[in-house]
Each structure stands twice: as structure tokens, then as C-alpha cells.
Amino acid sequence: MQLDSRIPSGPIEKAWEKTRFEMKLVNPANKRKFTVIVVGTGLGGGAAAASLGELGYNVKCFCFQDSPRRAHSIAAQGGINAAKNYQNDGDSIYRLFYDTVKGGDFRAREHNVYRLAQNSVSIIDQCVAQGVPFAREYGGLLANRSFGGAQVSRTFYARGQTGQQLLLGAYQALEAQIDSGRVTMYPRTEMLDLVVIDGKARGIITRNLVTGKIESHVADAVVLASGGYGNVYYLSTNAKGSNCTAIWRAHKRGAAFANPCFTQIHPTCIPVSGEYQSKLTLMSESLRNDGRIWVPLQKGDKRPASQIPENERDYYLERRYPSFGNLVPRDVASRAAKAVCDEGRGVGETGLGVYLDFAESISRLGRGAIEERYGNLFEMYERITGENPYEMPMRIYPAIHYTMGGLWVDYQLMSSIPGLFVLGEANFSDHGANRLGASALMQGLSDGYFIIPYTLGNYLASNKLAKVDAGAPEVRNVLSEVENSVKRLLSIKGKRTVTSFHRELGKIMWDHCGMARNAEGLKQAIRQIRALREEFWRDVNVPGSGDDLNQQLENAGRVADFFELGELMCVDALERNESCGGHFREEFQTDEGEAMRDDEHYQYVAAWEYMGPDAPHQLNKEPLNFEYVHPAQRSYK
């Protein structure tokens, strides 16, 4: 496979402008003659569908939820970064670019990141114009906060519901286009395959989740914005419906999958309470601004927190990282929590938890101040755990939160299949091996509002696309393959439920391909996943039929894909003999237990190519060049 990243030449500051100028344009009168499919309605897909509709394209937009407003972007709490420098504290596009490349542990493409930082400025303008109610100062100007260990205040926020408000902005713009008739919305419709004709993406096969009908939709280009694949771990902060099916099936039709093992673990989630646990709940990272993280000094100390005296507590982040303390980046904080729990010093019933203690802040600032800052979060914690965090420390533990990996895309966000574009968390492009806080929203909107409207036009204008009919044999073949795979799932009628398989897969992934990985564990995980997958196809029980609303069937298809993706993640993690960002290989660490990168051998994007059901994936490498930010070991000491 030939990977052409289409990175423009010349200075990075002018790269995007130059690219836009060199792009071919679609005549305004011709835009409505092009049909574009958008899958997913989160920040990337929603913004893309709305913007493409505004431009005059004929857009067909799909989501599996009942409404485009429910996409999981809605759950992002903290905020969105932008290099506005409204606080006059020395921020700039270059600084945001630098921080993001460094935060990504030098595994992201510089040009993509630079463009992201440039677009961040327009995103805030766009969202304010749409009526997103960002936090304001008394003077009426926008408020900012510092987030996730950044040294400048560049994060814009709408209480603890920034993702919700940004998504509603995109959703409302999308609904306006639906009303105007330029976008046709297909809610409760799941993409189950991609149609590739003459090497180009020309349509998708979907299942109507209410009637069960399997249908084909043809188009001139397909845009996937279907989110991340964190649910491969079963327990994650993702929504229950978040899945990898759209990108995985596109991968099996020829789209390379890049850096699948790069997953992010969020350090402040509410710990697991029992076997029945269905998902994990994130507590905003902002809590680390005023909370102190600690565990008992002694192993197996089962005393309640209030009875452990100060000198028998280990504030391990403050001890190990004196300059950043409790505010070290997510991957560092998560690994440190795992380390103390592995030593047997974890707290709570399961021993998988550390304290996040507000006692000191409450006595210093008063309960009122803490309530004003974190009231909602404290309430939510109490609702879920039944414990009052004003009186006893919170218990937190890391959880899977975001996947930096995804379908490989070039600078114009096109995958290795011409005509297939991938946006947001579904692609791999901007965060390298670790994503900084408040950057996911930025990337989704940048891709959807400010990149795809140009690059898609360029593709349509520079390619002669033959007309495709839904009845074409290529389309009908894929359709019948999908019908057969649905029938196959329904015909097994074994003994185990879909969820029980998913939970077991998740445990394998978390144990061996989670916060810390090693070659032995990964090899074992691959064996276990294969065996479990084989059992799944022999013994899964999918009740009901395919002719109506069947949530078990929907889930079964998604879990079947998670098996294959999970295996590839382990293969990728095994192949990458270094530690970087969220990928921590135990064999590759410094004497102090910090991640050790190997730039000489692994400064590349691992783009995996599907070679068929029984053949191993083939690795393609896109080398990464750092001309502007020079790789160094990240230090937060």
C-alpha cells in the first residue's frame, strides 16, 4: 500500500493556506448534483453535514441514535482549547501547536497539528455566533481557564457541559439544513458496510434499527465521523452505543488503520463497584486543580481515610513530580495510580482506587468556594457512590476514555480509499500517542467545519466519477454479504449472551493492552482473543429476529468487530517496541519508571492493512518528520 500523506511543502505557517489555494473548486451550481454521505453526527459529523449542506451539496446523514443530538461528543465536560490569547498570557497558535505535538509524545503529524491550532481560533468565533453559551466574565467577554496542565489559560467552557453545548450548536445548524431540504437525516440507522467501486468509496450499506431493513445508499463520497473505539474494553467512559463498526468495516474494504494501540486512559473516573458495572463515569479533570491525590503508605491499610494520619499518607504525585504535582498529564497520572494499586496500596472495596481529597482545599478556601467550583461534580459523585465527598475523600481510578488511533488519513483527511474521508476521533491524525485535555472537541469541529468543506470539494472537482446506481452488481453484492452476516449471527442460537462475551474481551484488553503492556501479556492476549472469538461465533445467543427492533442483534455485530479490532490493537502494541504517550510497554521505561521512546526505530505511523479474514495484517509505515518541534523526553518533574 502506498501512503501519500499529501503534506504541502513550504513553511508550516502557510501550508494550509497554500493547500486551500491549490485546491480545485466545485461550481456552485454543480454542488447539488453531488451526493455526500456522512456517518455520525457528533462534532465532526454534525459540523460536516451542516457545513456541506450550507455549501449546497446533497447530503445524506446517518446516526444510530434516535436523534443526531445524542452523539457522544455531548458528554465532554471540560472545555475546548483555542489559541485566542484573550488572557494576554503569552498564548499563540505556535504555542498550542507546540504543546499538542509535545503532549502527543511526538507521534503526530506536525502539519496536521499546526492547522488544528490555526483553526482553533475560528472555531470559537463560529460557536459563539451560533449561540453557544460559553462562560463569560462580568464585563461580558469570554472566560477562560487553564486545563490539563497547560501553562496558559486557553480553555473555553460552558459549565461542565462544553461538549453538550458545542454539539447542540452543530446539531441546530444541521437541523436548519434538514429543514431546508439539503440534508436528509437517517436516525436509528447503522452503517454496516462500505461500497467500493473502481477503488473509490461510493456508498454504504445500512440497517434500519427499527424495521430491520437492510438498504444501500450510493454517493459520490463518504465521510465517516463515527467516533472512537474505547468500548473494545467493555468498561470505558464511552456511551454504550459507541462502536467501531463503521470504521472497522471500512478498514476491511481497504482503509488502513493507524496506530490502533494508542488509547487514552483518563485518571479521574469513579471506580468499578461490581461485576454488573456497565460503564465508567468520568469526573472532570478540573478536580485535580484543588484535590490532592493520595494512598496509604502501608500496604493493605484498610482504615477509613479519616483515621489515617497525615504522616501515614503518600501523596505520590506531589512526591514524584514536584513541579506539576497533581496536575501531571493524563497518561502519567493514570500510570502512577496503577503503580500504587499494583503495590497493594489501593483503596476501596476492590483495592482499585486512590483518594482524591478536598479536605485541605475546603479548609483553606471554605466549603462555599469548592461548592461553587465543583458543586455539580460532587453531586454526581454522591448520586453514583452514595458517599459525600465534602466529608470523605473521593475514590477515583483510571478508565479508558479516548482512542487516538483510527483510520489513517492524509492531510486532506482522506483515507487510503479515495473518496472515503474520516473525521474526529475516528481518524488518527492529530493527537499522536496522547491527547491533551480539551483538544478532542477542537479536533472534531476543526475537521467538520473548517477542513472537510474544502478538501471534499477538491476531491469531487478533481475526479471524474461515473454514475452509480443502487442496483449495480457491486452494491448488491455488498448488500447480500451484510444480509448473510446478520443471518449468521441470528442463526447461532448458542448459550452465552453477547454482553458476557464483550465483558470477557474487555477484561483481556484491560489486563494486557491497557495502562501497561508487555510482550508476553500481549501474545497471551492475542491467543485468548482468538479463542474467545471462535467461541463467540459458535456459542453466542442472539435472540429474536432481524426483522424488527433488536438491540441484542445490534450489539452482537458491534462486539464481533471489537474482537477483530482488539486483536489488531494487541498486534500493534506488540510491534511497537517503545513506550510513548498512552502506550506504555513495561520493557521500555527509564530507571524512574517513565516512558522511554525509541525515535530512531519507531518515529512513524503504523498503518495496518487488512489482507483477508485468515491472513495477518500488513504493516505500512508513514515516517514522521519533526522540523519545528524537536523530540525530547517529556518531563513533568
Site residues for another protein, window 360-419 (CB under 8 A)?
379-380, 383-386
Does residue 331 contact residue 434 with C-beta atoms inside 8 Å? yes
Minimum CB separation from another protein for residue 539, in Å?
Answer: 13
**Please, how many CA atoms are within 13 Å of residue 590, restricted to the half-sphere of its CB?**
9
28 part of the interface to another protein, by CB under 8 A? no
CA distance 296 to 305: 8
Sign of CA dihedral 271, 564, 407, 95: positive
Which of 10, 199, 322, 543 lies at the binding interface for another protein (CB under 8 A)?
543
Which of the 8 DSSP states describes residue 451? I
How many other C-beta atoms lie within 10 A of the C-beta of residue 92?
A: 14
CA distances from 241 to 72, 165, 230, 269, 288 (A): 9, 21, 11, 19, 29
50 part of the interface to another protein, by CB under 8 A? yes
173 part of the interface to another protein, by CB under 8 A? yes
Which of 30, 151, 180, 388 lies at the binding interface for another protein (CB under 8 A)?
180
C-alpha cell at 576: 511497537
Which residues, 6 or more positions from 190, have their beta carbon under 8 angstroms from its beta carbon? Answer: 62, 64, 206, 207, 209, 245, 554, 557
- Cα 129 to chain centroid distance, Å, stands at 26
Burial class (CB in 10 A: 0-12, 13-18, 19+), 114: buried
450 part of the interface to another protein, by CB under 8 A? yes
548 part of the interface to another protein, by CB under 8 A? yes
CA distance 357 to 362: 10
Strands 58-62 and 35-39, bridge-based pairing: parallel
Give the total of residues touching another protein (CB under 8 A): 84
Residues in contact with another protein, shown as a per-residue x/- string from 482 to 521 under the rule CB under 8 A: -------------x-x-xx---------------------
Q: Which of residues 308-367 bind another protein (CB under 8 A)?
A: none
**Please, how many CA atoms are within 13 Å of residue 177, restricted to the half-sphere of its CB?**
27
Which of 68, 149, 398, 457 lies at the binding interface for another protein (CB under 8 A)?
68
Which of 179, 310, 591, 614 lies at the binding interface for another protein (CB under 8 A)?
179
Which of 369, 470, 549, 611 lies at the binding interface for another protein (CB under 8 A)?
549
Which residues, 6 or more positions from 386, have their beta carbon under 8 angstroms from its beta carbon? Answer: none
CA distance 394 to 563: 34
181 part of the interface to another protein, by CB under 8 A? yes
Which of 273, 289, 485, 524 lies at the binding interface for another protein (CB under 8 A)?
273
Q: Which of residues 605-624 bind another protein (CB under 8 A)?
A: none
590 part of the interface to another protein, by CB under 8 A? no
Which of 31, 60, 69, 200 lies at the binding interface for another protein (CB under 8 A)?
69
Which of 18, 279, 373, 523 lies at the binding interface for another protein (CB under 8 A)?
279
74 part of the interface to another protein, by CB under 8 A? yes
Q: Which of residues 208-247 bind another protein (CB under 8 A)?
A: 210, 237, 239-241
CA distance 340 to 330: 16
276 part of the interface to another protein, by CB under 8 A? yes
Minimum CB separation from another protein for residue 241, in Å?
Answer: 5
86 versus 626: smaller Cβ distance to another protein? 86
Minimum CB separation from another protein for residue 428, in Å?
Answer: 24
Q: Which of residues 129-148 bind another protein (CB under 8 A)?
A: 129-131, 133-142
Minimum CB separation from another protein for residue 66, in Å?
Answer: 6
